[in-house]
């Protein structure tokens, strides 16, 4: 059986990756949400859990076995080295989980992997094609502050500063989709879908 093409969807916080992925879902294309799966694996992956506790201490998990998100967020907030440590533990676990998911969905022409840190983590190298969802920084900041009222402006800017800049991502992406309410997001996605389902080169 021919393996499905693996298509990445990425973009900075507030860019609207989920909006683009909803279009793919509406076209009956399976979507793997790497960020949601990472959160789930912190609950369910015993090996990952053990490594997190070794790196960050027993306080990393609550008495009921759930991740102590406030504690972990406090550990990595504004600490680049600790951010690198937690990413070095979580990203490989997500990579294994993604491969298992691909094997379970290999009857499709192509599959979508949605991930905020696709470029930063280097996982884009294992994909066939990458879509970068682009939106100006100020627009993204305003969207996130409205969407996540529990986050402060400082926290959102800190997250943005840790993500690669637009210019760097655009150079590596195979397709840039502008989700700035001025251009159609739907059109380039439908075009790509047609190419992929007809077996054309992308």
Taking the C-alpha atoms of residue 33 and residue 177, their distance in angstroms, rounded to an integer, is 18
Return the pLDDT at 5.
96
Cβ atoms of 121 and 127 within 8 Å: the answer is no
Closest CA to 130 of 37, 1, 4, 6: 6
Please name the residue that has the structure tokens 């470029």: 119
Tokens of 155: 């926290």
Residue 15 is assigned to a ligand binding site:
yes
Is this prediction's pTM over 0.85? yes
Q: Establish whether 123 is an annotated binding residue.
A: no
Domains of the chain: 1-30+109-202 (3.40.50.300), 38-104 (3.40.50.300)
pLDDT in tens, 10-60: 999 999 999 999 999 999 999 999 999 999 999 999 999 999 999 999 999
Average pLDDT over every residue of 102-129: 95
Residue 19 labeled ligand binder: yes
């Amino acid at each position: 059986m021919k393996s499905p093409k693996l298509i990445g969807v990425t973009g900075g916080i507030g860019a609207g990756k989920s909006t683009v992925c909803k279009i793919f879902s509406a076209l009956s294309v399976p979507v793997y949400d790497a960020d949601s799966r990472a959160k789930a694996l912190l609950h369910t992956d015993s090996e990952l859990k053990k490594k997190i506790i070794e790196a960050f201490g027993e306080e990393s998990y609550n008495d009921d076995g759930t991740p102590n998100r406030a504690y972990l967020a406090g550990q990595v907030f504004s600490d680049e080295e600790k951010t690198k440590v937690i990413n070095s533990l979580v990203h490989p676990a997500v990579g294994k989980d993604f491969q298992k998911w691909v094997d379970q969905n290999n009857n499709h022409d192509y599959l979508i992997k949605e991930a905020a840190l696709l470029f930063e983590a280097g996982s884009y190298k294992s994909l066939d094609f990458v879509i970068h969802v682009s939106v100006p920084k100020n627009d993204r900041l305003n969207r996130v502050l409205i969407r996540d009222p529990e986050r402060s402006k400082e926290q959102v800017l800190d997250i943005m500063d840790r993500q690669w800049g637009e210019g760097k991502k655009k150079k590596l992406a195979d397709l840039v989709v502008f989700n700035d309410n001025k251009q159609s997001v739907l059109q380039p996605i439908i075009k790509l879908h047609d190419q992929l389902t007809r077996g054309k080169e992308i």
